[in-house]
Structure 1
Amino acid sequence: MKFSRSVALLAWAVPALGSTYQVKETHFVPRGWNAVGSAPEDHRIELHFALKQSRFDELEKSLYDVSSPGHPRYRQHLSQEEVHELVKPTDETLGLVEEWLGSHGVDVHGLDYTPSKDWFTVTLPVDTVERLLNTKYSVYEHEDGTQLVRTPKWSLPEHLHDHIESIQPTTSFFRPRKEGRQFKIADELASFSANAIAEAQVENPTVDTVCNATAVTPLCLRTLYGTVDYTIQAHGKNKIAINNFLNETANHSDVNIFINTYRPEAKGFNFTTFIVNHGDDQQTPDTPEQLEDGKDIEANLDAETIIGISYPTKLYTYNTAGTPPWKPSAGSDSDTNEPYALWLKYVSSQSDDVLPQTISTSYGDEEQTVPRSYAHSVCKRFAALGARGVTVLFASGDSGVGSNGTCVSNDGRNRTQFIPEFPSSCPYVTSVGGTMDFKPEVVAFNERNGYVSGGGFSNHFERPHYQEKAVKGYVEGLDGLHDGLFNKHGRAYPDLAAQGRAFAVVWNGSVHAVDGTSAATPAAAGVITLVNDALVAAGKRPLGFLNPWLYAEAHKTFTDITSGSSFGCNTSGFPAQTGWDAVTGFGTFNFEELKDLALSK
């Protein structure tokens, strides 16, 4: 999809039509940000408009119908055209919005719409945007030097409030981060990796013989979760994808070294990259600055982990533009840093025969830095993917319930509270926590780099009905622990877990160990895509949105994790317990049992 970078402005402008302006949204400036000056008038902002979807209630009902075992429509996923019909705005919405934009001199013929027209982008100078939204933008600087052009509130003519859900960048100060942490360990990693090819050829592998906490390899994961003997049958039809943000891209050279070392039978395997909004796909050696920043460790981790488990399933990578820090200057285009909107705009345009059945994303934000309207708009677009039969997985975070010293509410009251993650807090995605060790697996953490598998309860989204029983029981079992620090009635996460510590990753030509739920998420995605492979090979539909089935019955096939906690915010955090818990969800995979259950439906 081609994205329009600008539209023509007419030489004249007339007052906005219809009604007086009323504030649409306010959002407190998060900690660490300070206004340092007015935004240059001719600085250009790429605005993302989310319009009200005309029949989202019907889409949501369809999503749950096709995702709930026992329903007559179970796995009868919607087509792209059917989803577009449900989410497209009404003619009234489109007419009123375009009339308003035209009254401010915007050429409405240059609006860059999604195929369903529920989302569009337009690039305009700050002074035009300030008139449109009756607001004032400033340059805000974070304590780490990152700069953004934002505003703490914006308004719309009153008659448009029910037609426009979100406009960004306005109040959004969120900063997507990679949920992965590299750490340096002793020479045993080098010696362990040197024996990897021999290990990869072990006959009748067991967890005891192929799993080592120093460096978790594909053979370990495949043995631990029971996929090692599965023969993939539908790799031409079944597809899996990863999202790369923040200028990350999977390096083909490093991936090939990884394959040759850890899955030599996959030698020559390649993946397809989709570039979104001029995203990065650098394949040349990193500069010293990029090496210092660890560029592409995350993307390599995701691609290598998935290939290690799901080869020869077709792999896509989506490389979406946008990364801080950014220095504003007159006449420059802003780094919108709104990656989910950009990516969703792109992927919603992909046809049913191209769209992957499983998508893994190892990035997240503090939920409180994401404006509620934007979070809900993005979450609805994830629901649309689920309705089309896509399993969307997100990492649950690497800071437990919140990093010590940062657990303060962003609502003007400066309350101490746990810090939930978005998009893991969206009820239409599957959130993945991290484990470590093998017999038994426990909650993942690493004191050396501050990593603790994340979990919690949303302040933006109510608890969905599919998790009511499991989560209510868990909250009651806490018996008042951490009361007042979290929203007992919010969407709880994660939903499940996978290994998330000391993954062997090839980066810059050599092996490194990486921790994080960003490792757990592609590992989980790899297992899920093998279940989909079995379904597709049997002539059945893929799993799609996983959670209703997971909470209803599939969790019975999982290995429960009952040791450890998501400590943080100077507390013990949420404990792992029998059954579902807010640190490992329902636990980790037993592939054979999960596959057989899926095939029985």
Structure 2
Amino acid sequence: MAPRPGRVTPVPPGWTHAGRISPGHDLQLTFALRQRGTARLAQLVHAVSDPRSPRYGQHLSLEQLRDLIRPSSATLMTVLKWLQGHGVENCSSVTTLDFLECRMPASTAERLLPGAEFHRYVKGQRSLVRSPLPYAVPEELAEHVDFVGGLHRFPAERTAVSRAWARDAEPGRRRGGGAAFHLGVMPSVLRKRYNMTGGDVGLLPNNSQACAQFLEQYFHQADLAEFMQLFGSSFAHRSRVDRVVGHQGTGKAGLEASLDVEYIMSSGANISTWVFSNAGRHESQEPFLAWLLLLSNMSSLPWVHSVSYGDDEDSLSLAYLERVNVEFMKAAARGLTVLFASGDDGAGCRRVSGGNHTFRPSFPASR
């Protein structure tokens, strides 16, 4: 057996163990199949991105990308035979053929991946199924599978946005004896900071952008329209998202989702905007991985993607990091630009008990 990955992320604070799940509990696992042509892909990304290269701007279609990096026939046959040998038939692939999403009972998953043991964890109203133990794959599979998603990673947590500025802005409040003030950053503030005038808006019909939301963070079209009515009077803008990919909930709008949508449409004003909503509604699903699969399965996508999501880099396996980096190269080869927030805490810090504190980079912003 070949162990995968080498270490397991500890259960994050706030999550409570609620016991082992039943053998028949339905799981959804993602198998990242070994790709071909990744060295060639890296060279091609540099070529199409370098203005000095004769290949500059000659991006690949999704089908051309598939032909470059699709797993070998041996990999596809070996993995499918392994899954079918354990009775796993409910699988779907992506256009690039390098991911498989499969559903199976927990008992089947534990036989398929020796060492794995699936338990339920809860935090407030949220519930997840993860394995606290490392898994292994047969030696003959090690060269064909990069990693299996849906076992170990807990969703990244966002720090609550501080509202200290709102308290400071209350009438009569002073700081240091000076006049009252607040630190609200409205679209006009950002546009002024970046020297954008009323004419700096999208004008070409093929301009397009998107943001990605995770963990049942939703926006509301009505909130967006009201926001633009309040803050968009000085520039041409759109007041509706053109397309939502995924599940869009009807409950209370999320602060994170609203912030992302309203400000990308204020800075990238008058540009067609999509929202990718990756709720992570299945207990064993990893929403960030689900978003990457969407990119590998859609031939027509917005050109710019803004993502406010990240994990502590030291919590991730090397196999996962390397594979996600290849996913970003796939996007770049198609001409997509992907921007990641650097996090709420700057460089971040890992506090070591009784020792020296160290920097803690956030992935994927650290790439």
Give TM-score scaled by structure 1 length: 0.54
Aligned residue identity for 1:281: G
1:189-338 → structure 2 map (5 Å cutoff) = 214-232=183-201, 234-264=203-233, 266=236, 269-276=239-246, 279-282=247-250, 286=252, 295-322=253-280, 334-336=283-285, 338=286
2:361 aligned partner: 420
Q: Does 1:150 find its partner at 2:131?
A: yes
C-alpha offsets along residues 305-349 of structure 1, whole Å, 9 cap, x if unaligned? 1221222111111111216xxxxxxxxx5242x112211211222
Determine helix, strand or coil for the equivalent of 2:165. coil
Describe the shift of the 1:44–1:416 C-alpha distance in structure 2 as closer, same or farther (beyond 3 A): farther
Does the aligned pair in 1 maintain the 2:23–2:107 contact within 8 Å?
yes
Shift, 1:416, TM fit: 4.7
| Cα separation, 1, equivalents of 2:133 and 2:356 | 20
1:115 aligned partner: 95
| Cα separation, 1, equivalents of 2:216 and 2:16 | 25
Shift, 1:385, TM fit: 0.6
| Cα separation, 1, equivalents of 2:169 and 2:201 | 30
| Cα separation, 2, equivalents of 1:143 and 1:343 | 23
Aligned residue identity for 1:307: M
Aligned residue identity for 2:243: T
Describe the shift of the 1:142–1:269 C-alpha distance in structure 2 as closer, same or farther (beyond 3 A): closer
Describe the shift of the 1:267–1:68 C-alpha distance in structure 2 as closer, same or farther (beyond 3 A): closer
Shift, 1:102, TM fit: 1.4
| Cα separation, 2, equivalents of 1:268 and 1:229 | 14
Does the aligned pair in 2 maintain the 1:320–1:343 contact within 8 Å?
yes
Q: Which runs of 5+ in 2 are unaligned?
A: 172-180
Q: Does 1:402 find its partner at 2:348?
A: yes
- 324, 329, 347: which one aligns with 1:378: 324
C-alpha offsets along residues 109-145 of structure 1, whole Å, 9 cap, x if unaligned? x421001110010111111011111123142647878
Q: Does 1:130 find its partner at 2:110?
A: yes
Q: Does 1:57 find its partner at 2:39?
A: yes
- 41, 44, 48: which one aligns with 2:26: 44
Does the aligned pair in 2 maintain the 1:65–1:73 contact within 8 Å?
yes
C-alpha offsets along residues 13-65 of structure 1, whole Å, 9 cap, x if unaligned? xxxxxxxx232323234254676643321122100010011111111111111
Does the aligned pair in 2 maintain the 1:179–1:395 contact within 8 Å?
no
Identity %: 29
Describe the shift of the 1:400–1:148 C-alpha distance in structure 2 as closer, same or farther (beyond 3 A): farther
- 346, 350, 369: which one aligns with 2:294: 346
Describe the shift of the 1:129–1:418 C-alpha distance in structure 2 as closer, same or farther (beyond 3 A): same
2:56 aligned partner: 74
Determine helix, strand or coil for the equivalent of 2:359. coil
| Cα separation, 2, equivalents of 1:261 and 1:42 | 52
2:85 aligned partner: 103
Aligned residue identity for 2:210: A
| Cα separation, 2, equivalents of 1:273 and 1:24 | 38
Aligned residue identity for 2:366: S
| Cα separation, 2, equivalents of 1:257 and 1:67 | 39
Shift, 1:240, TM fit: 0.6
| Cα separation, 1, equivalents of 2:219 and 2:140 | 46
| Cα separation, 2, equivalents of 1:27 and 1:142 | 22
| Cα separation, 2, equivalents of 1:220 and 1:143 | 37
Describe the shift of the 1:81–1:173 C-alpha distance in structure 2 as closer, same or farther (beyond 3 A): closer
- 302, 307, 331: which one aligns with 1:356: 302
| Cα separation, 2, equivalents of 1:44 and 1:233 | 46
Q: Structure 1 residues 219-228 or 114-123, which shifts more?
A: 219-228
Does the aligned pair in 2 maintain the 1:47–1:167 contact within 8 Å?
yes
Shift, 1:68, TM fit: 2.5
| Cα separation, 1, equivalents of 2:238 and 2:58 | 36
| Cα separation, 2, equivalents of 1:213 and 1:186 | 7
Determine helix, strand or coil for the equivalent of 1:121. strand
Shift, 1:188, TM fit: 7.2
Does the aligned pair in 1 maintain the 2:146–2:323 contact within 8 Å?
yes
Aligned residue identity for 1:100: W
Aligned residue identity for 1:273: R
Does the aligned pair in 2 maintain the 1:180–1:398 contact within 8 Å?
no
Give TM-score scaled by structure 2 length: 0.87
Determine helix, strand or coil for the equivalent of 1:85. helix
Shift, 1:182, TM fit: 3.6
C-alpha offsets along residues 552-586 of structure 1, whole Å, 9 cap, x if unaligned? xxxxxxxxxxxxxxxxxxxxxxxxxxxxxxxxxxx
Determine helix, strand or coil for the equivalent of 2:52. coil
Determine helix, strand or coil for the equivalent of 2:183. coil
Measured on the aligned residues, the alpha-carbon RMSD in Å equals 2.8
| Cα separation, 2, equivalents of 1:272 and 1:241 | 10
C-alpha offsets along residues 148-169 of structure 1, whole Å, 9 cap, x if unaligned? 3214211111111111001012
Shift, 1:189, TM fit: 5.1
Q: Structure 1 residues 90-99 or 416-425, which shifts more?
A: 416-425
| Cα separation, 2, equivalents of 1:83 and 1:245 | 26
| Cα separation, 2, equivalents of 1:335 and 1:105 | 19
2:165 aligned partner: 185
Q: Does 1:165 find its partner at 2:146?
A: yes
Describe the shift of the 1:189–1:416 C-alpha distance in structure 2 as closer, same or farther (beyond 3 A): closer
Does the aligned pair in 1 maintain the 2:117–2:132 contact within 8 Å?
yes
Determine helix, strand or coil for the equivalent of 1:86. helix
| Cα separation, 1, equivalents of 2:237 and 2:200 | 17
Aligned residue identity for 2:63: E
Describe the shift of the 1:189–1:78 C-alpha distance in structure 2 as closer, same or farther (beyond 3 A): farther
